[in-house]
Chains A and B, each alone.
Chain A
């Protein structure tokens, strides 16, 4: 079975919102659209989005880190939003695991949004139906597009390649390898929803330097002083 998903690398994301705007652009004009806005150029603008980037500050100054956190439907393998839908408008596609809403069946009761612990579903205030990330189903399942373009709009737009897309059930896929090798994790694992989307954590590259490595006798950065010649050969003088 295929389970398409995104893997989002928090180590790489710079919080530019390119994924947000390209998502909105593609999806408002495509199959899932329109994604309506309310007061877009007025006070308190609001509207429907599939994807948002939030920003968190971790730690206290000066030991702080800014984490940009892209947030969209996680296409759970056990989606709690699907069984609660009274009409069957919410469904998980059998062939690729994408969670979708049939806008023609949705009655706008909002129950599915209550049943999503992540708050990934948004009611369109004009169309009065529930909307959510489709993983750009009209791109990824569109054979008319060249294969390189059969990816979600957010993935294609990301300037830092922080977003990977693929089948998380295929152990050899790019996303599975990234999860496996770079510590990919799921959000709120405590609810057993098994989110298909994974996040890659912040990773620090540090060099380890011990005191004696800095104190080498012939360290060129050392403060000038008479060489301790009397001590005889240092380790660095030995050559083979």
Chain B
């Protein structure tokens, strides 16, 4: 498949945004259980969730560049019964709304407990919104990934691993950003978020490793024989029906050389899984606020390469009909 930068930006940016929001809510829940120091509503939660919202907005804007008719984008909420894309289009704004409400509640300091559960856990509006938002964030990971995983004949994508990868990559980069944000703010949560970021990064390394392994050994169901229905081992395409290319040759081929593909492969493996973990480890010893920021920046760049590779490695069965130009 041809990797479109609009989609690469959309999926990586909203993944980080969701992960950051989940990290903030996790921090809030931990502090509720007195496992962590409670943080300042305004400077930590309101600012952090605004950053998450900003990432979601930029991701959404990027997605418009993928559309031929962005002015009709509102129509895409219509077929949520059958289309995962439609479901994403509904869940994303819903999630953004919850993040915005969460940010507003913290900004205005409306964090007086509304009621207490068993006289111990004090529940305020921000916690309720946070939990609703967390549910929406996970639903959004599923919707985004299922857009790809639901197409059964793009066999590289048609696997539960796709959903697990999207979720883990989002969580890893989101917690990484939360660590960077804490370091920048001088908040004592770098260790907490950093540890989770490393855990999610390692889990993502396992699941992405499994999907890469699966894809190298994948035997495609469709062959040129089933594509044109002729039973012979030696079929060679002599003409595609045109000479200057078509939508079919532009949309479904990445057009990159094998060496570029290898380069991107090793680049994303290092940038997503190795360097961020090393940088976070270094920041643990050096206590520098820049290193977690660098770790996040490195991982985000790596994730863009990973998403590019995700598209490039998918081989669409329609490519069987376009084997040689003539």
Which residues in A have some Cβ–Cβ distance to B below 8 Å? 17, 20, 39, 43-49, 52-60, 66-67, 69, 71, 80, 83-89, 105-111, 113-119, 121-123, 125, 127-129, 185-191, 199, 201-202
Across the interface, B238 reaches (CB within 8 A) one of A56, A84, A186, A202, namely A56
Interface residues of B in 1-43 (CB under 8 A from A): 1
Known pairs A105-B75, A122-B246, A201-B229; A190 contacts B234 (CB<8 A)? no
Leading 5 A-B pairs by shortest Cβ distance = A108-B68, A119-B318, A128-B68, A52-B241, A86-B76
Whole-angstrom distance between the Cβ of B209 and the nearest chain A Cβ? 25
Alpha-carbon distance A58/B321, docked complex (angstroms):
14
Which A residue sits closest to B230, measured CB to CB?
A: A58
Nearest-neighbour CB distance to chain B for A218, whole angstroms, equals 42
Most central of A17, A52, A189, A201 by chain B CB within 10 Å: A52
Check if B232 is an interface residue, CB within 8 A of chain A.
yes
**Are A85 and B83 touching (Cβ within 8 A)?**
yes
**Which residues in B have some Cβ–Cβ distance to A below 8 Å?**
1, 66-70, 72-73, 75-79, 82-86, 89, 147, 150-154, 221-222, 226-230, 232, 234-248, 251-252, 316-319, 321-322
A46-B244, A49-B246, A85-B79 given; A188·B68 CB < 8 A: no
A128 to chain B, nearest CB (A): 3
Does A117 lie within 8 Å of B85, measured CB to CB? Answer: no
Please name 9 pairs of A and B residues whose Cβ atoms are closer than 8 Å in the assembled complex, sorted by A.
A49-B246, A85-B79, A86-B86, A87-B86, A109-B67, A187-B227, A187-B228, A190-B226, A201-B230
A54-B237, A67-B230, A122-B246 provided; 12 other pairs, C-beta below 8 A?
Answer: A47-B246, A86-B76, A86-B79, A107-B76, A109-B67, A111-B83, A113-B251, A114-B154, A116-B318, A118-B317, A119-B252, A119-B319
User: Shortest distance in angstroms between B78's beta carbon and chain A's nearest beta carbon?
Assistant: 5
A129 touching B232 in the complex, CB below 8 Å, given contacts A54-B321, A86-B89, A188-B222: no
With most chain A CB atoms within 10 A of its CB, the pick from B75, B77, B230, B248 is B230
Question: A54: which of B84, B154, B239, B318 is its contact (CB, 8 Å)?
Answer: B239
**Docked complex Cα distance between A114 and B148 (Å):** 9
A39 in contact with B246 (CB, 8 Å): no
- For B66, the chain A residues whose CB sits under 8 A away are 109-110
A59 with B234: in contact, given A111-B85, A187-B228, A191-B152 (CB under 8 Å)? yes
Contacts of A47 in B (CB 8 A): 246
Bound-state CA distance A121–B252 (Å) is 12
Cross-chain contact B246 with A56 (CB below 8 angstroms): no
Cβ-defined partner of A114 (8 Å) among B1, B229, B240: B1
Contact of A66 among B76, B83, B238 (CB under 8 A): B238
Q: Specify which of B77, B242, B247 is in contact with A113 (CB 8 Å cutoff).
A: B247
Query: Measured between alpha carbons, how far is A135 from B72 in the docked complex, in Å?
Result: 27
Q: Are A128 and B76 in contact (CB under 8 A)?
A: no
- B69–A107 touching, CB < 8 Å: yes
